[in-house]
Amino acid sequence: MKIALVSVPAGELDVDALAVPVATGQRLSGPAVELDRAMGGVLAEMVATAEFRGRIHEVLPVPAQGKIGPRRVILYGLGSLHDLDGQRMRSAHHELVRASRTYGYKRIAVLRTDAVRMDALKAVVEGCVMGTFERRSRQTGPQPERREIDELMLVGFGSGREHELVAARENGEATNRAREWQNAPPNELTPEALAQEAMRIAQRHNLEVEVLGPAELKTGGYNLLIGVASGSAKPPRLIRLRHRGSPSPLSGEGGSVRAADAAGRGAGSPSGAAASSAGGPVLALVGKGITFDSGGISLKDPDRMADMKADMSGAAAVLAAIDVIASRKIPLDVMAVVAACENMPGPAAQRPGDVVVSADGKTVEIVNTDAEGRLVLADALTHALRNGATHILDLATLTGAATVAIGHAATAAVSNDDSFWATVDMASREAGDRVWRLPMYADYRILLRSQIADLRNSQYGEAGCILGGMFIGEFAGGKPWAHLDIAASSWNTNTELTTVLRGPSGAGTRICIELAELMAGAER
Ligand code: BES
Ligand code: MN
Ligand code: ZN
- Per-residue pLDDT tens over the stretch 387-423: 999 999 999 999 999 999 999 999 999 999 999 999 9
* Mean pLDDT across the chain: 94
- Per-residue pLDDT tens over the stretch 345-391: 999 999 999 999 999 999 999 999 999 999 999 999 999 999 999 99
Q: Which of 374, 434, 437, 510 is catalytic?
A: 374
Q: Whole-angstrom Cα distance, residue 113 to residue 157?
A: 10
Confidence of residue 523 (pLDDT cuts 50, 70, 90): confident
The arithmetic mean of pLDDT across residues 54-59, rounded, is: 98
* Of 484, 489, 490, nearest in space to 427 by CA: 484
pLDDT for the residue 265: 42
- Per-residue pLDDT tens over the stretch 310-339: 999 999 999 999 999 999 999 999 999 999
Query: Which pTM does this prediction carry?
Result: 0.95
Counts for the chain of helices (H) and strands (E), in that order: 14, 19
The percentage of residues in the chain with a pLDDT greater than 90, rounded to a whole number, is: 90
pLDDT at 254 over 50: no
Q: Whole-angstrom Cα distance, residue 187 to residue 442?
A: 41
Residues measured by CB to lie within 5 Å of ligand 3, the ion: 290, 293, 311, 373
Ligand 1 pocket test: which of 399, 458, 459 has the largest number of ligand atoms within 8 Å of its C-beta? 399
pLDDT for the residue 146: 83
Q: Whole-angstrom Cα distance, residue 152 to residue 379?
A: 45
The arithmetic mean of pLDDT across residues 82-100, rounded, is: 98
Ligand 1 pocket test: which of 298, 398, 450 has the largest number of ligand atoms within 8 Å of its C-beta? 398
Q: Whole-angstrom Cα distance, residue 367 to residue 350?
A: 10
pLDDT for the residue 524: 73
| 122 included as an active-site residue | no
- Per-residue pLDDT tens over the stretch 131-151: 999 988 899 988 888 899 999
pLDDT for the residue 263: 46
DSSP E strand boundaries for 267-358: 282-293, 333-343, 355-357
Higher pLDDT, 155 or 277: 155
Q: In what order do the strands lie in the sheet with 237-244?
A: 208-212, 237-244, 333-343, 282-293, 391-396, 481-485, 411-415, 435-437
The arithmetic mean of pLDDT across residues 43-48, rounded, is: 97
Domains detected in the chain: 2-137+147-155 (3.40.220.10), 171-523 (3.40.630.10)
pLDDT for the residue 40: 97
Output the CA 368–ligand 2 centroid distance in Å.
Answer: 9
pLDDT for the residue 151: 98
Question: Which atom of ligand 1 approaches the CA of 464 most closely?
Answer: 19
Confidence of residue 268 (pLDDT cuts 50, 70, 90): very low
Q: Whole-angstrom Cα distance, residue 444 to residue 120?
A: 40
pLDDT for the residue 255: 47
The backbone torsions φ and ψ at residue 389, rounded to the nearest 5 degrees and listed phi first, read: -60, 135
Output the CA 455–ligand 3 centroid distance in Å.
Answer: 19
**Complete DSSP assignment for 89-134:** HHHHHHHHHHHHHHHT-SEEEEE--TTS-GGGHHHHHHHHHHTT--
Longest CA–CA span in the chain (Å) reads: 79
Q: Whole-angstrom Cα distance, residue 255 to residue 248?
A: 15
Q: Whole-angstrom Cα distance, residue 7 to residue 323?
A: 33
- Per-residue pLDDT tens over the stretch 432-486: 999 999 999 999 999 999 999 999 999 889 999 999 999 999 999 999 999 999 9
| 117 included as an active-site residue | no
